[in-house]
Amino acid sequence: MTNSQKDTLFTLIKSLSKSEKRQFKLYVGRLGVNSDAKFLALFNLLDKTDNYDEAAILKSKIVKKQQLSNLKAHLYKQILISLRLNPAHQNIRTQIREQLDFATILYHKGLYKQSLKILDKAKTQAIENEEKNIAYEIVELEKVIETQYITRSIAGRADELAIQAKELSTLNVITSKLSNLSLQLYGIMLKTGYAKNDEEYKEVTNYFYSKLPKFAIETLGFREKFWLYNAYLWYSFLTQDFLSCYKYASKWVNLFNENEQLIYLNPVFYLKGNHYLLESLFFIKYKSQMEEALLTMEQVVQNDKFPKNDNIESLSFLYTYNNKLNVHFLEGSFNEGLVLVDEVLNGLKKYKGKIDEHHIMVFYYKIGCLYFGNGDNRTCITYLKKIIENKNLKMREDLMCFARVLSLVAHYEAGMDYHLEVQLKSTYKFLLKMNDLHEVQKEMIKFLRNLGNIYPHELKKEFVKLHQRLKSYEDHPYEKRAFLYLDIISWLESKIQNKPVAVIIKEKSKAFIR
């Protein structure tokens, strides 16, 4: 039996909605094939089964073993063609591409004038909707046709097309360089997290500015500005300049708000921009604006004009709930946040296969933090174990590090001292291996390791000493990242003042959260 998740045809069929399945059968009917056609029979069989079972397919005698691979490939192609024809998957981008295909067919038939007429209209649409790659393809085809069919003064027309091609090519190159830079910075963020020291800061800064293409801002259109803000955003995240994160995320979102039609053409980028805006507001503790931005994003997503598909639904879930959890962390309302846990777990189940392992682990970490803040340390440990024991997580090493540190604290709080020594050794080795042992972590591990030597009546005094030492790192350019994942300062204050950590954070939030 083949793994259902790995069989692409089976996965595609199971992703289809009822209307998409109905359209596929209508499409097959329009082809005029016999209702007993083998690929339709295979479709019906796979649609009714819960798991992909090659033995069951062969037993049905729809197809012989040596023909199965070709039949599956044919069915896969026919489903994609049917989906392409589905109005739900049509947008201005596919319409422009379709017009280019039509014009190409007319050109090959020698109907040059008709082809040029379609191309001229498609080019205008492409430029208006920031589809400059397609616009460049259109201009290149226009150049080919003009060499064979002179419609106007060839000198003037040649100059016009040459200028358009050069301008579009220049902008496409800038876009490509900026999008490459953005992707590479994002990769660094996933692999190693924030810059940990001056050396890494200089390395990231030199890399960023060496790869940043030269441009004149006044010549950039929507698409070029979008990738420019994207690249600056990731550079700001890597260097922990969260005010700059807010600045460029705001520019990103405002760019869409000023070009509303492009929200619906690029819904994924709109959602991502809002997510990073919300995340930067969380880091600078601007709660009121964060709640306002979250509400605005939800309203736009619920708008009838906003595209609806599986990918957008899963991203909406991912970004909405990540930031809903962050709001509770800001205000210390851990108990109230627990109501989101079942909603998150149900969402992860619903969108299984559409949300990557990294983001699932982030959810587990945040759920663990919720339970820790609510005093349920054993449940916190349960969720952190999902991260610590995950052998497939190859990115966000900092997430793994802080999951282990929080697990240590939760074991101490839960009175599970018999596990603490093993945990300490394991965590220390892991942090050394990851080259991620910093002052905050060193202080925490040293404190927890010495717990057995501290008399109960001296414990509060030791908490005060640790609090004083860690407080000096709260605004440190590289050490402060520890407090983004785990509010150790508030935890220590809760021990010193003998109050729940949720109460401490709520009291602090009234003072600094805007």
Residue 486 lies in a domain: no
Residue 373 lies in a domain: no
Is the CB of residue 423 less than 8 Å from the CB of residue 388? no
Domain endpoint, select from 121, 151, 181? 151
Q: How many other CB atoms are there within 10 angstroms of residue 316's CB atom?
A: 21
pLDDT of residue 302: 92
Query: What is the rounded CA–CA span in Å between residue 263 and residue 306?
Result: 8
Looking at per-residue pLDDT, the higher value among 293 and 393 belongs to 293
Neighbour-count burial of 496, counting CB atoms closer than 10 A to its CB (0-12 exposed, 13-18 middle, 19+ buried): middle
Q: How many residues does the chain have?
A: 514
Q: State residue 52 phi and psi, 5-degree precision.
A: -75, 120
pLDDT of residue 1: 42
Same domain? For 16 and 79 the reply is yes
Neighbour-count burial of 238, counting CB atoms closer than 10 A to its CB (0-12 exposed, 13-18 middle, 19+ buried): buried
Query: What is the rounded CA–CA span in Å between residue 411 and residue 330?
Result: 24
Residue 21 lies in a domain: yes
Same domain? For 79 and 100 the reply is no
- pLDDT digits over 329-355, tens only? 988 899 999 999 999 999 999 998 888
Residue 272 lies in a domain: no
Residue 127 lies in a domain: yes
pLDDT of residue 289: 93
Is the CB of residue 492 less than 8 Å from the CB of residue 470? yes
Same domain? For 128 and 67 the reply is no
| Distance between first and last Cα of the chain | 57
Q: Collapsing DSSP states into helix, strand and coil, what is residue 405?
A: helix
pTM above 0.85, yes or no: no
Query: What is the rounded CA–CA span in Å between residue 10 and residue 42?
Result: 10
Same domain? For 79 and 120 the reply is no
Task: Tokens for 430, please give them.
Answer: 């892991």
pLDDT of residue 101: 92
User: How does residue 406 score in pLDDT terms, banded at 50, 70 and 90?
Assistant: confident
Could you tell me which residues come within 8 angstroms of residue 219 by beta carbon, excluding any fewer than 6 positions away? 171
Asked whether residue 393 carries a pLDDT value surpassing 90, the answer given is no
Residue 309 lies in a domain: no
- pLDDT digits over 423-432, tens only? 777 777 776 6
Residue 108 sits in which domain range? 92-151
For residues 199, 202, 208 and 210, what is the CA-based torsion angle, rounded to 10 degrees?
A: -110
Is the CB of residue 398 less than 8 Å from the CB of residue 436? yes
Is the CB of residue 199 less than 8 Å from the CB of residue 435? no
Is the CB of residue 52 less than 8 Å from the CB of residue 10? yes
Query: Element (H or E) spanning 131, and its range?
Result: none
For residues 92, 96, 99 and 103, what is the CA-based torsion angle, rounded to 10 degrees?
A: 170
Task: Tokens for 235, please give them.
Answer: 């550079």
Same domain? For 16 and 69 the reply is yes
- Find the range with the poorest average confidence among 45-49, 377-381, 438-442, 487-491: 438-442
Task: Tokens for 469, please give them.
Answer: 């030492």
DSSP secondary structure letter of residue 147: T
For tokens 């896969």, the residue is 76
CB-side neighbour CA atoms (13 Å) of 38:
15
- pLDDT digits over 107-145, tens only? 888 888 899 999 999 999 999 888 999 999 999 999 888
Residue 100 lies in a domain: yes
Could you tell me which residues come within 8 angstroms of residue 312 by beta carbon, excluding any fewer than 6 positions away? 267, 268, 271, 301, 306
Query: What is the rounded CA–CA span in Å between residue 321 and residue 385?
Result: 21
Asked whether residue 481 carries a pLDDT value surpassing 80, the answer given is no
Domain endpoint, select from 42, 62, 89? 89
Nearest to 380 by CA among 282, 283, 285, 491: 491
pLDDT of residue 2: 46
Is the CB of residue 271 less than 8 Å from the CB of residue 319? yes
Residue 115 lies in a domain: yes
Same domain? For 79 and 96 the reply is no
Same domain? For 15 and 82 the reply is yes
Could you tell me which residues come within 8 angstroms of residue 248 by beta carbon, excluding any fewer than 6 positions away? 229, 230, 232, 233, 236
Q: State residue 487 phi and psi, 5-degree precision.
A: -80, 75
Domain endpoint, select from 120, 151, 182? 151
Per the structure, the count of domains in the chain is: 2
Mean pLDDT, residues 40-61 taken together: 88
Query: What is the rounded CA–CA span in Å between residue 189 and residue 398?
Result: 10
Helices marked H in 284-392 = 287-302, 310-331, 334-337, 339-350, 357-373, 377-388
Mean pLDDT, residues 189-194 taken together: 77
Is the CB of residue 132 less than 8 Å from the CB of residue 176? no
Same domain? For 12 and 35 the reply is yes
Same domain? For 44 and 60 the reply is yes
Q: Collapsing DSSP states into helix, strand and coil, what is residue 204?
A: helix
